[in-house]
Amino acid sequence: MKFDVIIIGAGSMGMAAGYFLAKSGKKTLLLDSFNPPHNKGSHHGETRIIRHAYAEGEEYVPFVLRAQELWTDLEQATGKQLFLQTGVLNVGEEGSDFTRNIISSAEKYSLPLDIMDSNEVHQRWPGITLPDDYIGCFEPASGILKSEECIQAYKELAESHGATILTNSRVQDISVLDDRVIIKTDEETFYSDALVVSAGSWSGELLSTMLDLDLPLTAVRKTFAWFDADENSYNHEQFPAFNFETPEGIYYGFPSTDGCGLKVGRHDGGDEINPDESMQEFGEVAGDKEDLRQFLNGYLPEIQQLKYGKICMYPMIPDEKFIIDLHPKYPNIAIAAGFSGHGFKFSSAVGQALSNLIISGKNDVDLSHFSLKRF
């Protein structure tokens, strides 16, 4: 069967790309080894933070602002509430690179940002306790995305524009002959003019074995959990999403939505895994619970009672920057990989960028920071 574009990996980035390509009139096929949204990817766990004043670097800001616009467009197109403007509280030591980058990116792009000392943070949110030398950088315009609902929304829109989505369909071989791409799964062979690779934690192996592109991509097991919380104080209308840089690690969290409790996870660390092997469930690895509890004891001491935890995978790359680029040998193949645990918020804009790269070879938001040339 012949298509204009085939997308391998219909998760966060791939599903968005499928929508934009199908909307542009391209006959589009999405292939996924599972049935997105699912619990095998980095989108698992119901919610993700979207923040604008970016601690990882100013170069991300125009891209995340485009993503925010596109999430609003998705809400309007589907009639679903996918974004909750809870605000995001970023906490770290005053003068650290983390807090300096947030403040400088907010200043450069005129983003709303409230800077508070530790006492002011505690007065506004009494459940938070900080060391005296910490500050809080509060982004009132940022908040939470309902990650799995976002993917479902893009899935429905992509199909409404004629995209074909084949789930539980694993790619076994890729061949590139002149301007034609041949994809073989267990059951069928497909042909296309162009290809998008957005296979998450499976991208590294797929690119190296089938497309002659070795990249330092790995998969890491990550955990997060929900804890009982006073709904009057920690609900999403009263309490912000948060991102804490501490000596013990970088932790993030979400207020309680629909009575689910306070959600907490750790961004850094984690064990490297083979994505094809079963991951140990939350609590089966030493430190899963204890690590989150030590963070809560130090900074959110009212939160104690664990409700339940979950696991997901981060597709990691050493510099933790993204890869969004065309294949160096094949200009009809676009790649999105290595999102390193902070990519979901961008996935709407990544999907649009992949569509633009396939159609015109360029994107209107600068992608040079995410180029393959750095390797």
Residues marked active site are found at: 44, 47-48, 263, 267, 312, 345
Distance from CA of residue 260 to its chain's centroid?
Answer: 21
SS3 194: strand
CA distances from 6 to 18, 144, 155, 182, 275 (A): 9, 30, 15, 9, 22
Q: For 125-226, where are the alpha helices, taking DSSP H only? A: 147-160, 203-210
CA proximity to 346, closest of 35, 76, 59, 113 = 59
Find out whether 49 and 88 touch, Cβ atoms under 8 Å: yes
Distance, CA of 323 to CA of 266 (rounded, Å):
23
Find out whether 229 and 303 touch, Cβ atoms under 8 Å: yes
Q: 296: how many CB neighbours lie within 10 A of its CB?
A: 19
- The residues, any chain, with a CB within 8 Å of residue 223's CB and separated by 6 or more, are 265, 266, 270, 282, 285, 288, 292, 309, 310, 311
Q: For 41-178, where are the alpha helices, taking DSSP H only? A: 61-78, 97-108, 118-124, 147-160
CA proximity to 82, closest of 350, 264, 339, 345 = 345
CA distances from 365 to 78, 111, 181, 353, 354 (A): 25, 18, 27, 8, 12
